[in-house]
Structure 1
Amino acid sequence: MTRLRVGQVEYLNCIPVYHALEDGLLDADIELIKGPPTKLNNMFLNGELDITPISSIEYAKYKDKCIIIPNMSISADGNVESILLFSHCPPTELEGKTVNVTTSSATSVVLLRILFEHYYHVQVEFHRSEPNLDAMLASADAALLIGDDAMLAHQAVMQNKPDINVTDLGKEWKNFTGEKMVYAVWVVHAELAENNPEIVEQISRLFNQAKAIGLANRDDLVNKGHKRSHLPHSLLNHYFDTIHHDLGESERRALLTYYDYAYKSGIIEERIKLTIWGE
């Protein structure tokens, strides 16, 4: 296989997919490039990555430039536990208030906008902020964190600040729509698929094999996650039950529902169809 530049979200939710690749359990001539979602999004769109998990909303905005790898996503059915709104009052009481949102996320920021507009019916003012909960809440009434930042902040809040409201956006989306939520999909450049379909076929098989190996080795995932985050083993074991990496019929329907609301909110300019490799 031609050496490919592969984006790797440096959050716990991607360990099940990348464990086998990191540990050399599969023969693959690839270069893993780590970063938060927004950084990898930009690198992919700038031609600096060949394949990456891309934020769901960025796929919608640049769908003509990329093709989705089949059976691969970052998703959850209800609680996601790593996309959290921290606030001084319940979300429904934030009318006219300010919300600091992490610079690390794209999809989750749009999800929060959709929930405020269509579910809570509350108008708020959003500001971008570096992912530091104390600093974010010092200058705003609420703060959105994702990934490991959210999980670590949640642990700290439970121990030291029980008066802070913590809202799981995956749970709220499920309550609102009845659907799962798909936060990211794996994509390759459309040009690569057109010019080198055999490479895309190989990389598609590789990632699905890597996912299968990771899911079959739960103890290794939990130990690796604990080493990186120092979060309790029991919490990580539960988290790896919560996060899913499939893209079946229910995930596709959920993703299109998310896009419909993004369209209604004027965040994207047209309704979206999914372009998936091999279909």
Structure 2
Amino acid sequence: MKPRVGHIRFLNSMPLYEGMRITGLLDLIELVKGTPRELIDMLRRGELEVSPISSVEYCKGGDDLFVIPEVSITAYESVESVVLVSKVPIDELDKSRISLSNASSTSQTLLKVILREYYDIYPEYIEMEPDLQKMLEVSDAALLIGDPALIAFWREDELFKYDLSHEWYRHTGMGMSYAIWVIREAYAECEHDQARWLVDGIKNAMRTGESAIEHTIDVISNNGYPQERLKRYFGKLSFGLSQKDVEGLLIFFKKAFDLGLVEKVPDIRFFGD
């Protein structure tokens, strides 16, 4: 049976997809597409062997997961695809209502950390499907991630827009790793040789996809996305996972823990250690 590998349905996962296609790995796995929230649920049910996950999910149940080294979706000074869209300036959002995209947990937690830690703001939160118009009909601001966030960020209108990577970097000087790749411990132990082959294949595919980023941008722009904006967007992303990226993750986990947003700060266990 082919190993089952999760894949996030956002533009920022296209370099890995193209890398898997170029290296031939795509033909040797069963690719399962979904949002970060959907993929972590499938992983916990044992329906995937390997998957990207919203990084904060590692605080909520990483005891049976190994992190795959050298692979992530990380942004530093800005990202454009994790965005708070607001009717009013951010410092006027205390006791307001904010709609949160239900696609990912990391962005929700990051927003709560930023608002409480750096703005002393305590709004009411509701979770919704990521439809900006409907979100702003019932709220003062909306958190979007992925492709809907890019579209909203690029649109010229009267709304206030806050890039959460910029906010995080401005206050901490650290990047934010929004997604990490993990492998189930039970699978890694029972199918060790295949697991090693799969991990090496994913790492190689990510490197290949990153080196072929111009081709990936051409593919995406054929679907109507402005090429120059795509170049700017992908130029903001890193697809590796450095020691400093891990340090940034642990700072984020610790702040979330101190605010009661997660139950623990986990030890990050890497596959192969």
- With the length of structure 2 as denominator, give the TM-score of the two structures: 0.96
Q: Secondary structure at the match of 1:257?
A: helix
Shift of 1:20: 2.5
The answer on 1:178 being equivalent to 2:177 is: no
Distance 2:211 2:71 in 1: 16
Could you say which residue in structure 2 is the equivalent of 1:10? Answer: 9
Check whether the contact 2:72–2:238 (CA below 8 A) recurs between aligned residues. yes
Distance 1:275 1:78 in 2: 27
Shift of 1:245: 1.1
Shift of 1:23: 5.3
Check whether the contact 2:58–2:266 (CA below 8 A) recurs between aligned residues. no
Pairing partner for 1:203 from 195, 198, 202:
198
Shift of 1:219: 2.2
Structure 2: state its 5+ residue gaps.
none
State the superposition RMSD in angstroms. 1.4
CA offsets 1:220-257 (integer angstroms, 9 cap, x no match): 110222234x2200111111111111111110000100
CA offsets 1:143-185 (integer angstroms, 9 cap, x no match): 00000010112233x1xx2x20000000000111111101111
Q: Secondary structure at the match of 1:64?
A: coil
- After superposition, residues 83-98 of structure 1 pair within 5 angstroms as 83-98=82-97
The answer on 1:221 being equivalent to 2:220 is: no
Q: Secondary structure at the match of 2:47?
A: coil
Could you say which residue in structure 1 is the equivalent of 2:267? Answer: 273
The answer on 1:236 being equivalent to 2:230 is: yes
Aligned amino acid, residue 190 of structure 1: E
The answer on 1:146 being equivalent to 2:149 is: no
Could you say which residue in structure 1 is the equivalent of 2:256? Answer: 262
Change (3 A) 1:28 1:67: farther
- After superposition, residues 20-59 of structure 1 pair within 5 angstroms as 20-22=19-21, 25-26=24-25, 28-59=27-58
Distance 2:94 2:202 in 1: 43
Could you say which residue in structure 1 is the equivalent of 2:241? Answer: 247
Structure 1: state its 5+ residue gaps.
none
Could you say which residue in structure 1 is the equivalent of 2:64? Answer: 65
Check whether the contact 1:57–1:107 (CA below 8 A) recurs between aligned residues. yes
Q: Secondary structure at the match of 2:238?
A: coil
CA offsets 1:180-202 (integer angstroms, 9 cap, x no match): 10111100101111222222211
Check whether the contact 1:78–1:181 (CA below 8 A) recurs between aligned residues. no
Aligned amino acid, residue 111 of structure 1: L
Aligned amino acid, residue 107 of structure 2: S
Distance 1:269 1:217 in 2: 40
Distance 1:176 1:45 in 2: 34
CA offsets 1:27-64 (integer angstroms, 9 cap, x no match): 75101111111111111111111110011111111111
Distance 1:126 1:136 in 2: 11
Check whether the contact 1:52–1:188 (CA below 8 A) recurs between aligned residues. yes
The alignment of Structure 1 onto Structure 2 pairs a total of residues equal to 273
Distance 1:204 1:123 in 2: 41
Distance 2:89 2:137 in 1: 17
